[in-house]
Structure 1
């Protein structure tokens, strides 16, 4: 049985297109464009500094991923904007992917 060649994001037990269980991990190139976004002006908790941008990123591989846009002014963010992944260590010890404008 061959591995599934469909890009599946988020990790799961089978491909939602062909139902194959032969999925393989593939490293993303780490760049894409902003598909949609929202600027948050009132945080749900004091742990968040506002404003911040939450976006759906369409990655070069074709899947979509939700993350924050960082290292830019929220007024410059727009749909179609090219972005690149950047990683940040969080206080809890984990590292998370964020996106910033591509150079």
Structure 2
């Protein structure tokens, strides 16, 4: 697995995913409150250095997707072809997270029929422990 960089700004994101929470950094300035991802020390809207981590619903929509051929990393070869999706969060469509659509918690990356991948499909985050890092993965919401 390609491990995430755990710098001072982004470390809280991974601490929250380990608890099964999707939290996004937000500006804590009284007149701003903008969500921002990836995490960074300064708000790009008002330039405040005050921040907090807000709990999100974990819901979103598929904004884009791709099926890599051949696999880019050897660790994923057995699951190829698999999907990689870009999810816009329900609370803020400007915030987009990369992940994989899976059929059920713990299912392999290639567990969803590619015919089910649709731009705009509603998804819900789940968290999978992969080599000690809890990655957001996504399930299709039931209508």
Same structural fold, with TM-score higher than 0.5 when normalized by the shorter chain: yes
What is the RMSD of the two structures over their aligned residues, measured on CA atoms? Answer: 1.5
Supply the distance in 2 between the matched residues of 1:45 and 1:67 (Cα, whole angstroms). 15
- SS, match of residue 52 in structure 1: coil
Q: Is the 8 A contact 1:82 1:101 kept in 2?
A: yes
Alignment partner of 1:68 out of 86, 100, 103: 100
**Which ranges of structure 1 fall in alignment gaps of 5 or more residues?**
none
Aligned to 2:36: 8
Supply the distance in 1 between the matched residues of 2:139 and 2:99 (Cα, whole angstroms). 10
From the two aligned structures, give the one with the greater strand fraction. Answer: 1
Aligned to 1:78: 118
TM-score (norm 2): 0.66
From the two aligned structures, give the one with the greater helix fraction. Answer: 2
**What's the offset of the Cα at 1:46?**
3.0
**Which ranges of structure 2 fall in alignment gaps of 5 or more residues?**
1-28, 104-111
Supply the distance in 2 between the matched residues of 1:23 and 1:3 (Cα, whole angstroms). 13
Runs of 4+ in 1 over 2 A off after TM superposition: 1-4
Aligned to 2:63: 35
TM-score (norm 1): 0.89
- SS, match of residue 115 in structure 2: helix
**What's the offset of the Cα at 1:3?**
7.0
The alignment covers a number of residue pairs equal to 102
Alignment of 1:22-61 (within 5 A): 22-48=50-76, 49-61=79-91
Map Cα deviations across residues 74-102 of structure 1 (whole Å, 9 max, x no partner).
22101000000011111x22211111111
Alignment partner of 2:132 out of 86, 93, 102: 93
In the superposition, relative to structure 1, how do residues 3 and 10 fare at CA in structure 2: closer, same or farther (>3 Å)? farther
